[in-house]
Amino acid sequence: MMTSVLFQRARVIDPRNEVDGIRDVLVTDGRVAQVSEAPLTAPKDARVVDATGKWVVPGFIDLHVHLREPGEEGKETVLTGCRAAVAGGFTGVVAMPNTKVVNDSALVTELVLSRARDADLCHVYPAGAITKGLKGEELSEAGELIGAGCVALTDDGRPVMNAALMRRVLQYATLFDVPVMVHEEDLTLSAGGAMHEGATSTRLGLRGIPASAEVAMVARDLILLEETKGRLHVAHVSCEGSVRLIREAKKRGLRVTCEVAPHHFTLDDRAVGDYDTHAKMAPPLRGDADVKALREALVDGTVDAIATDHAPHGVSDKLVEFEKGINGIVGLETALGLTLALVHEGVLTPRRAVELLSEGPARVFGLPGGHLAPGSPADITVVSPGEEWTVDAHRFYSRSRNTPFHGRTFKGRVTQTWVGGRCVFEDGQLKESR
């Protein structure tokens, strides 16, 4: 079995180690052995990868992925989700707990990890539920979940409406130093809403969800965070007001981090068009001013990570009236294209884009990887930044096809994904060990 790989003459972008330039990268026994400005000599029997014109970057990490197993394997499984992940350049994903058998126990955590070992493609890091059954009533056994391998606590798509309970979980999580990841939505403000409250919702005759439904909950939880000294991670931020509050909280030294999904920094509520359920998600696509604010926050460091909120759904979940459509889209295989669109537009530098997809997520959740220093895991993504391709949802490795980006042309594509020094995806094809 090959133990060495030499990437030659790549543009290596490694934000944590302040590297951005032409380098050779030598991988030995699953770890980065050397990063050199001078050309390196390949060891005997090493695989040599001519990476001229390519980027070699730390493997991407997605903090927000729905793998649907156990319970909804028709939409996605751990295996198919991992296939989609490596096709998108992701070497690690955090699996949300809102499966049909909720991950609120060590038993479910262990099942997810077992399925990930069987898939043998990318790292899967389970997140455990804050409350039993995601009901928002009684705290789950956080110690048991973390001991079994959970890296964060979250009720994901459900807000913790009970402020006292939210305060307790922030306090409790400090014992384990793990982040509490929150979906911020005041259900009394969003109740009955189907999309962002604005001109488009008025035109379509759909009940709107005001930005205050998110912003008010962000404000509440930042107050609780300041009091408890815990760690708060705000999922899929969508509003200018949320960004402003998080930016101010960071300046005050609070331990708050946040993520933004590619669809929220790319599309606004006009993408709903004439009731297109592929543009229906939670939080909803917001207004143009919110999109601009999210982009500014990606640039200035307020946002720590780009996370896809990969949410697979079947055809029947979307081919219904808009109000009845299930929220969410798949995102693992389009994330890089949408992120690089900001690079080509001059919004993000290549270094900042790579940081948001790799080093930032690793730092936020304390995960391995996210950089290419000697001794680090050889989790590597190779990108062809100028290659154009068109999204064909029917060719996704994900089991689901729900995307508003079908037919869209992107510039920049993953050509290889390496996990632990093993090539698991190359030139559009999986390299499975199974």
Q: Residue 325 in 3-state DSSP?
A: coil
Edge-to-edge strands of the sheet including 180-182? Answer: 153-154, 180-182, 232-234, 256-260, 305-306
Angle subtended at Cα 328 by Cα 273 and Cα 115, rounded to the nearest 5 degrees: 155
**Integer Cα distance of 255 and 225 in angstroms:** 8
CB 413: neighbour CB atoms within 10 A?
A: 20
* 309 annotated binding-site participant: yes
* 236 annotated binding-site participant: yes
* 64 annotated binding-site participant: yes
Angle subtended at Cα 94 by Cα 228 and Cα 154, rounded to the nearest 5 degrees: 35
* 168 annotated binding-site participant: no
* 67 annotated binding-site participant: yes
- DSSP assignment, residue 348? S
Q: Is the dihedral of CA 236, 242, 248, 252 positive or negative?
A: negative
Residues whose CB is less than 8 angstroms from the CB of residue 12 and which lie 6 or more positions away in sequence, other chains included: 19, 20, 21, 22, 23, 25, 35, 55, 56, 57, 372
* 313 annotated binding-site participant: yes
**Integer Cα distance of 378 and 356 in angstroms:** 19
* 123 annotated binding-site participant: no
Q: Tokens 């649907």 — which residue? A: 68
Residues whose CB is less than 8 angstroms from the CB of residue 178 and which lie 6 or more positions away in sequence, other chains included: 146, 150, 151, 152, 153, 231, 366
Does the annotation mark 186 as catalytic? no
Which is catalytic among the residues 309, 379, 392, 427? 309
* 120 annotated binding-site participant: no
Where do the H-state alpha helices sit in 49-198? Answer: 78-87, 106-119, 142-148, 163-173, 187-190
* 24 annotated binding-site participant: no
**Integer Cα distance of 252 and 300 in angstroms:** 16
* 98 annotated binding-site participant: yes
Binding-site members for Zn(2+) are 64, 66, 156, 183, 236, 309
Binding-site members for substrate are 66-68, 98, 313
- Residue numbers annotated as active site: 309
Binding-site members are 64, 66-68, 98, 156, 183, 236, 309, 313
